[in-house]
Amino acid sequence: MNKDLLMQLKRVTKTYLMGEVKVEALKESSLDIYQGEILVILGPSGSGKSTLLNLIGGMDKPSSGDIIFKDRSLSKASDRELTQFRRHEIGFVFQFYNLISDLTAGENVALAAGLVNNPLPTQGVLAQVGLEARQYHFPSQLSGGEQQRVSIARAMVKNPTLLLCDEPTGALDYHTGITILQLLKQTREAMGSTIIIVTHNTAIGAMADRLVRMRSGSIAEIIVNDSPLPPERIEW
């Protein structure tokens, strides 16, 4: 690819202890992640895709192997250093939005802006996701699609290097889901962020620059897509 290398996962594993039982959530896996790409991680439940996303996002450390971000090892980082990494480099978009219910849409976004030194303008980001007129509404007053757009705005306002999306269309109907995918693609084009989407929906892989297929805790296949589809042409 003709993009700059942003992150490397080198023979990374993750094992959890459940009582006396060891669960290999992620077997030895290696992956390069590039600046400005859309990367879709695809696999069924239990395939290890969410574990992989958590490691990329600094929410967890690998049991073995190394994760290098901009020449810095995250595997050796302290908890404080990982907190700073998540705060300044990562934007998260969740399946069920994770908005603060007693804050308005605008306040949810402004709260995230307050976490970083150089946030984007809150009003501008709300306008970008089409919610300027809904900024004073609480999450309970918004539709599912509107709540997900607030979630994306909250991630965008930090101007993150990596935008990590865990099943961002999973709780939405088809047409709203396509709107969210269009917004993610527009975000990449406007901000240059790397966007990683974890999903079990195989159709979404068609919009990716690269597709990672996971199976039984391992990366089974990495596919380069020379002709990504625009989201509006994706059907499921």
Q: Which amino acid is at 125?
A: V
pLDDT for 18 equals 87
**198's tokens:** 């974890």
Q: Indicate the Cα dihedral angle 19, 24, 25, 31, nearest 10°.
A: 150
pLDDT for 2 equals 59
The answer to whether residues 53 and 200 touch, using CB atoms and an 8 Å cutoff, is no
pLDDT for 1 equals 53
Alpha-carbon distances of 29 from 43, 129, 134, 150, rounded to whole Å: 15, 35, 43, 33
pLDDT tens, residue order, the chain (236 aa)? 557 999 999 999 999 988 889 999 999 999 999 999 999 999 999 999 999 999 999 999 999 999 999 999 999 999 999 999 999 999 999 888 999 999 999 999 999 999 999 999 999 999 999 999 999 999 999 999 999 999 999 999 999 999 999 999 998 999 999 999 999 999 999 899 999 999 999 999 999 999 999 999 999 999 999 999 999 999 99
pLDDT for 56 equals 97
Can you name the CATH fold of 35-62+72-233? Rossmann fold (3.40.50)
pLDDT for 226 equals 95
pLDDT for 228 equals 97
Q: Which of 50, 62, 48 is nearest to 8 (CA)?
A: 62
* 162-166 and 218-224 strand pairing: unpaired
